[in-house]
Chain A
Amino acid sequence: MTLYLCVHIHNYVLATVLARHPEYQDNSIAVMDGIAPLEKVAALNAQAAVKGIYSGMSKVEASRFPELLCIPRSTADETFLKNKVLQFALRFTPLVEDASHADGCTLVLDIAASLTIFGDAEVIGRQLLSDLMSIRLKANISVSKDFHTAVLTAQSRSAERAYRFIPGGMERKSLELLPISMLPLTEDQSSILATWGIRTFKEFAALPLTDLIARLGQPAKILYHLARGNQSHNFVPVVMPSAMTEKFDCDAPVDSVDSLVFLISALLRKLVERVQAALVLLASVSISFGLESQQSHSRTIRPSLPTNDTKIFLKLIHLDLMAHPPRAGVMTISITGHTGSSREVQLDLYSPQLPAAGSLDITLARIDAIVGEGHAGTPQLIDGHSQDAFLLTRFSISGHTPAPLCRHTVRVGYRRLRPAYRIRVQVKDDIPTRLRTNTGAYCIELAYGPWIVSYQWWSPEIEEREDWDISAREINTNDVMHCCISLRRSQRCWYLDGIYD
């Protein structure tokens, strides 16, 4: 026996805004989405629609309505509230399926087994509605033996009651008045049904199945059963990420990182034992310190691959705490493990042996600790005229063979200085003649240039510079330096960009 309870929140994007800001309830509201200057109305309430606002309207257009309240969309709020709804649902059953469309919130609970605990479906439904009201969300709940009937009736805009129970055998009847557009039709199917004059589930369900399949193909069978409320469904419950936590309260404030790591190691071992018992791996570990100053300090350690190797975790935690130590004595330690599944990577048989993932993580963490976070990784060139046009990405295993070196090999070694080194330059007849650094003064003997570069004229990052390749001699030591200097026009400053070997 099955019984499904569907919770659906209409206009979820707007609903989340109103849940956060109930004071806006009586205003005309438009929720704006997108990046400036192309923000658009993503959702709106009825008061706004009456005034002529529509979904997709640009912010500039919407701003012409002085009484309209434009509120930026918050996907974080949406996710947070959805998780809350899920938490509520999970209190009644672990079998919850997320049947939401893109920006919506539709959850289906398999409550067949829960009835023995909670008694009646209506009790569950009413309790859920009450829970949702506590976070200022209004929902429609529909209960049916058929999964899709529960979903479709809950999603139906014509649903008059917040809670609706569809008795067994009444599924088809309950769906009759729904518009055909609520079926998951392809564009082609929609067009054909429109020409046939089929507008409701009732009309569609009345068509002879065999003839329908002969015309629309096998997918029509699913649509047909959906319309009749007897389409079977494979329930896919939401898998909640499991988190395990170990805590420790200190008798006195702990200031030393080594001491902290020692305490953490005991907690970590307990955590790993629990994780191993559950036959899963640790994907990340979050450590939260309660500080003497009543503040908290949190760090998360995430190795490249899930692992239960405490040594790796401890070393990574140690390096991280060295870089980001708590700012006050630690009074409490809480360590939470987030589990994940092990991923196996099939590499090429002839690929060179790679270092173990754990060792690599530690090495990288060590480098990070030396050079600073974000200063180590794989450089990725950005195609453009900017000198600093590159990205640093995390080291990763790449399957592709590197491109062969181009035949126009660079004949001169060149060391770029990052960041470029500010210098003072003396110019005569638009040609640099002398330069001074913090370490010395140079007389420029040869100067080639200027090599003029201007780029990104269409954006605020517009930059223009003049590069010179020079040969300069140190006035005191007679040392010769071949280098590239540049004048950045926006700053009116000279920089030493690099040195030719």
Chain B
Amino acid sequence: MADSTGYVELHAASAFSFLEGASLPESLIERAAELQMPAMALLDRNGFYGSARFHTAGKKQGIKAHIGAEVSIGDLEQREHAYSWLPNQFLQEQPRLSLYCESREGYQNLCQLITNYKLREPTKGEGKASLVELEQYANGLICLTGGDEGPLASALLRGGQEAGRACVAKLVSIYGSRNVYVEIQRHHLRDQEWRNQACLQIAAALHLPVVATNGVRYANEAERELLDVFTTIRCKTSLDKAGQLLSMNHCRCLQSAGRMAGLFADLPNALGNTLEISSRLNGFELDSLGYEFPTYSTPAGSSMDEYLRHCVSIGIEKRYSGAMKSSLKAQAKAQAEKELLLIFRLGFSGYFLIVQDIVQYCQRNNILIQGRGSAANSVVCYVLEITAVDPIAMDLLFERFLSENRGEWPDIDLDLPSGDKREQVIQYVYEKYGENGAAMTANVITYRGRSAAREVGKSLGFNEETIGKLSGLVGHWEWKGPTDTIADHFQQAGLDIHHPRIAKYLELTLRMQDLPRHLGQHSGGMVICKGLLSRVVPIERASMAGRTVVQWDKEDCADLGLVKVDLLGLGMMAVLKDCLELVPAHYGVTEDLAQLPEDAKVYDTLQKADTVGMFQVESRAQMASLPRNCPKRFYDLVVQVAIIRPGPIVGKMMHPYMRRRQGKEKVTYPHPSLEPVLERTLGVPLFQEQLLRIAMIAANFTGAEAEELRRAVGMRRSMARMKELEVKLRRGMTQNQIETPVQEQIIQSISSFALYGFPESHAASFALLAYASAYFKVHYLAAFTCAILNNQPMGFYMPAVLVKDAQRHGLHVHPICIQRSRWECRIERAVDGTLSLRLGLMYARGLRQSAGEGIVASRQQFGAYRDIDELVRRLPSLSRKELAQLARIGALNSIATVAHRRDALWQVEAAGRPAGALLDREGVSADGEEPSPLQQMTTEERLVADYGGTGLTTGRHPMHYRRAALRHENILSAQELRERLDGQPVRTAGCVIARQRPGTASGFVFLSLEDETGIANVIVHPDLFEKQRVLVTQGKFLLVEGTLQNQDLVVHVKATHLAPLAVSQIEVRSHDFH
């Protein structure tokens, strides 16, 4: 501990100065609190990346968080380093000026300045400001001359005191003498002290104040090691080779006021000035950003509230006009009025109108869009067509979405078809609000087990083989068992963790966890702003062309009150959109997603868990519960979507519900008054909305209070507030004459499922998509399969499984054919009118899209390919490897001159090597060519080629060829397992298509084995997993012995023994949920 207030650290960089700082902003604040520092400033490189977290952490610890940034200056010469003769040199970069925000104007200026030069870069990059820009955005900023990275240090090295003085004079001309401080740092380095003496002379000559900082790069001395590792990563070298690139000592940590007083005993004013600057910087905090959500431009004369009311009334007429809905209209109007009053009171009209505008844009452009999440509780959202679930018909609770006490903006997530259509909507938002008015939220990519092990390994000079082996072993199972620590992975990789160098490797890998690596972009969160967003937070280019990101992630944005709209890509939306186009084109009927009928055949399929490819209900766990839940109506599907989640499983809600559903357990209610609330879920609370209603009915809570209770329990933020609410809850229940034991039961119930419950509205939105996907699969299998194959990767299963499932359901799937395939998969109609599926060229691995589209275009223009030489002549851009791949997968077999795949391979190897201009004419090069001497591929070779070249086969399943032998060994197929009795010892075998080790399953591993008859599920006990870890995680074909569990039409094999099965050399890819 130190004496408290004599010093404020004004120059600290966090790990958000990517690879130039080694501590998180929270760690810096924590250390500052330990040192009893009243305030501190964070200056990250070229941005405010860590500022939001620094500010939030500062608030918690009662430390003033001053905001600033180190800004790269382009008009000065490149940063000079003292030892230009050394073999290792720092990266070439510009000097960086330390700027601090004295006022909101200063903050906005700094944001705009950074945005300007960041956006000037053609791609994601650091950028640099010009001196003219510095002058333009100088107001409200205080400038320090900086440490090693600063312009003064560079000038002194380059031209001595004269250049240094000129540099400082330039800064004074830009920021004014009152706002420029000459910075002194003391890290016990000779060179630095030489610079300090020069700085002092310059300060004296120009009558400028001197200020002491410690140029902090890490919170504690020990973190210097991480900074050195980061330096090696940055300079692409290793610790042994980095030499003087590494820091000379560990003095750039946060120091106490006492220690700094000792260091600057000869310059007491330098310390005093830190307090002066800090007091000047007190005028601005990140709380007062000046952010405003954009206003919506309404038709002339009407306010946003009036216009929203108008839109809602039109929407009610539209949504509730049908015969089935008209009975709900009055109720909808009343609810809408209630919602509108709250929306007006909270000032959120513009938000709803803007989201509606995005929805309308999608409708105009034929883009599927659907709101998800708690927004589906709102009738306003429903009638504005933001969501598709009718909250009146489903009796959903609005307060879960919006309440007065919540103090937050509503959160509306919009699902869009992933891919081009979603990009189109994002670009619409950019266009509408301008490059400086909208941007994606960032996603901070942090070092995790694998990446940390890789980088530290390289830094410590370990060879690539060791690093690769280690990173390959860092598992990503959701379940982390006692043998899944990083130390275990080191040992499994054959490293001796007791060896000092390995121990250091392990230690650094662990310490590096969760430190920022770089900034990515969030999957769909967009921030929009009234006026310039670039004056609220710096905006920079994302790696993806046409995208920009703000420098904060979604939590930072939420903490600082920035409103985002989530435009999320959903693969199934793209599938449904494709289905809506394919069905009329090939089946001659038009389907409307909003009007899909309740269909017995669909429910029958769901009850049998025949759900491969269907949205949200296709996983192994969903399949295992579907026969028990036995959905018969839409609401059953809502429950189904919600119940197979970690929450209900951990909250022990799943099994009671299933037992009651099957009539094995009596339906009871904690109190008769709660029967209306819990009736739909058979007395088992499943949804968050039910929690709210229980509190409202049992304890007379208002909707807002009930929502507050949910959030208080769910987040455990304020124990005091939770206690207050619990007292109120008990009081209300007592008033309603609910007995004490029942009160306890209700409170216990609320406490447990508030943590794990699922929003009913969200489940309903997803259930709509689940039903639609089931409907299309059951009625339009060709269209559905075509659409889902064209939108991979998505869902639980690999394309190979989807194709095999479609084939088992009677769909004929044709292989890739150069004469018939398009880039995407397509539907073909046979002469007898039956529909079949043709695989697209997109499934030929290694074939470029441009090449594939070229094949199709040329075919459409000039007709079918007559021979391989012609193919090569017509498409000279096709590489030899691409031609060989097409030949290998049989795509060239339909060419008249090709006898079989190897014949094609023989021909393309010659055709793919042009003979030169003289012979390269039609008919010349083929002359004299003998027939192919190569043997036709065997079945096994064809399978290997199919899986290697396309990831799937349209022929028979590999297990089919082993069936006779397997039967001889009494090994059952997936179909045969279903016919056996529960408890029987069985043997089965198949190709592993999915592996799961769910976090809720206590270390059990679930394997899905596929054969030609279907999918079998295998349960692997943790002990067996530990014994046969490699086989379970890497085996392609497995033989399983165990006990059959066949209950309620749900079939599993509880494995007692596993063995590899030699079926084929094919490279099957499983979907592993690590």
Contacts and interface: CB of A to CB of B under 8 A. Distances in A.
Contacts of A117: none
Given A211-B929, A215-B906, A458-B504, A450 B188 contact: yes
B189 interface: yes
B460 A458 contact: yes
B463 interface: yes
A244 interface: no
Interface in B492-506: 493-496, 499-502, 504
B499 A385 contact: no
Interface stretch (A20-28, A56-64, A153-161): A56-64
Nearest to A197: B935
Contacts of A501: none
A61 B494 contact: yes
Contacts of B500: 460
Contact of B909 (A38, A215, A460): A215
A382 B504 CA distance: 24
Contacts of A57: 494
Contact of B88 (A192, A214, A383, A454): A383
B888 interface: yes
Nearest to B948: A195
Which of B157, B239, B249, B463 has the most chain A CB atoms inside 10 A of its CB? B249
Contact of A449 (B188, B466, B913): B188
A379 to B, nearest CB: 14
Contacts of B178: none
A38 B249 contact: no
Interface in A111-169: none
Interface string A454-497: 11011110000011010000000000000000000000000000
Interface in B902-939: 902, 905-906, 909-910, 913, 915, 929-930, 933-935, 937
B248 interface: yes
A349 interface: no
B429 to A, nearest CB: 47
A451 B496 contact: no
B906 A383 contact: no
Contacts of A467: 190
A469 B191 CA distance: 13
A196 B188 contact: no
B755 to A, nearest CB: 42
Contact of A216 (B463, B909, B929, B933): B909
Contacts of A207: 933
A224 to B, nearest CB: 13
A384 B244 contact: yes
A458 B501 contact: yes
B163 interface: no
Interface string B230-247: 000000000111111010
Contact of A196 (B225, B494, B902, B915): B902
A236 interface: no
B122 to A, nearest CB: 35
Contacts, number: 109
**Interface size classification for chain A:** 35 or more
A459 B501 contact: yes
Interface string B855-899: 000000000000000000000000000001000100000000000
A37 B457 CA distance: 13
Given A197-B934, A215-B913, A451 B190 contact: yes
B980 interface: no
Given A57-B494, A58-B493, A385 B888 contact: no
Given A58-B494, A197-B941, A454-B250, A408 B188 contact: no
A399 interface: no
A467 B248 CA distance: 12
A423 B888 CA distance: 79
A388 to B, nearest CB: 14
Contacts of A60: 491, 494-496
A453 interface: yes
A36 interface: yes
How many B residues are at the interface, by size bracket? 35 or more
Contact of B884 (A62, A192, A214, A466): A192
Nearest to B89: A383
B1048 interface: no
B86 interface: yes
Nearest to A453: B248
A214 B910 contact: yes
A408 B88 CA distance: 18
Most chain A CB within a 10 A radius of its CB, from B86, B246, B499, B915: B246
Given A60-B491, A196-B906, A384 B243 contact: yes
Given A38-B463, A211-B929, A458 B225 contact: yes
A406 interface: yes
A469 B460 CA distance: 34
B833 interface: no
Of A56, A384, A466, most buried by chain B (CB within 10 Å of CB) is A384
A211 B925 CA distance: 12
B494 A208 contact: no
B462 interface: yes
A195 B937 CA distance: 9
A137 B344 CA distance: 94
Given A37-B501, A458-B225, A59 B906 contact: no
B933 A455 contact: no
A277 interface: no
Interface string A382-424: 1111000000000000000001001010000000000000000
Contacts of B499: 36-37
Contacts of B502: 37
A457 B225 contact: yes
B193 interface: yes
B84 interface: yes
B225 A197 contact: no
B930 A454 contact: no
B251 interface: yes
Interface in B70-97: 82, 84-88
Given A215-B909, A216-B909, A454-B250, A383 B244 contact: yes
B893 to A, nearest CB: 15
Given A37-B499, A384-B244, A448-B193, A406 B85 contact: yes
B243 A454 contact: no
A440 interface: no
A61 B494 CA distance: 5
A200 B94 CA distance: 61
Contacts of B240: 459
A458 B190 CA distance: 24
A123 B909 CA distance: 48
Interface in A194-245: 195-198, 206-208, 211, 214-217
A446 interface: no
Residue in B88, B243, B494, B915 with the greatest tally of chain A CB atoms within 10 Å: B494
Contacts of A59: 494, 496
A38 B505 CA distance: 13
A469 B194 CA distance: 13
Nearest to B80: A408
A220 to B, nearest CB: 11
A452 interface: yes
Contacts of B910: 211, 214-215
Nearest to A196: B934
11 contacts: A60-B495, A62-B494, A192-B909, A195-B888, A195-B905, A211-B906, A383-B241, A451-B189, A452-B248, A453-B249, A454-B250
Interface of A: 36-38, 56-62, 192, 195-198, 206-208, 211, 214-217, 382-385, 403, 406, 408, 448-455, 457-460, 466-467, 469
The 7 closest A-B pairs by CB, nearest first: A383-B243, A58-B494, A215-B909, A61-B494, A452-B188, A37-B499, A452-B249
Given A37-B496, A38-B463, A469-B190, 13 more contacts: A37-B502, A58-B495, A59-B494, A59-B496, A60-B491, A195-B884, A197-B937, A198-B934, A208-B930, A215-B913, A450-B188, A455-B246, A458-B239
